[in-house]
Amino acid sequence: MEKQQLPNATLILVFGILSIVTCCCYGIIGLPLGIIALVLANKATKLYTESPENYTGFQNVKTGKILAIIGIVLNGIYLIYAIWLFSTVGMEGIQSMQEEFMKGLNQGMEE
C-alpha cells in the first residue's frame, strides 16, 4: 500500500509561518492563523498516531505546530501590549509617538 500525505500538512506549515510573520498586525491576523494551524496539527497528529505506516509528511505537521505555538505566543504578547498602549496613552498619544519617531528618522537621514 502506498503512503499518502497527511491531510493539511503543508497548510499547517504555511499557517504556522504566517502566524509569526503577521505578529505585528495587533494579533488580528496572526492569532487566528496560529490557532487554526494548532487545531489542524492536533487532528493530523491524532490521525498519524493511529496508523503511522500509512502517512508521510509528519515532519511538516510537527514543524507547523511549533511555529503555530510561537506565533500564538508572539501575537498574544503583541495584542496585550497594544491593549496596554491604547489604554494608557490613547490614540492621540500613539500618533504623537509615531510623528516623533518619523521626525527622528528624517533627521537621521538628512545628516
pLDDT tens for 78-94 read 999 989 999 999 989 88
Amino acid 12: pLDDT: 97
Global pTM? Answer: 0.83
Instruction: Round the average pLDDT of the chain to a whole number and report it.
Output: 92
Q: At which residue does the C-alpha cell 504623537 appear?
A: 96
38-71 confidence digits (pLDDT tens)? 999 999 999 999 999 999 999 999 999 999 999 9
Instruction: Please answer whether residues 22 and 40 qualify as being in contact, where contact means their C-beta atoms are separated by less than 8 angstroms.
Output: no
- Give the H/E segment covering residue 51: none
For 61-102, the three-class secondary structure string (H helix, E strand, C coil) is: HHHHHHHHHHHHHHHHHHHHHHHHHHHHHHHHHHHHHHHHHH
Amino acid 61: pLDDT: 96
Amino acid 53: pLDDT: 92
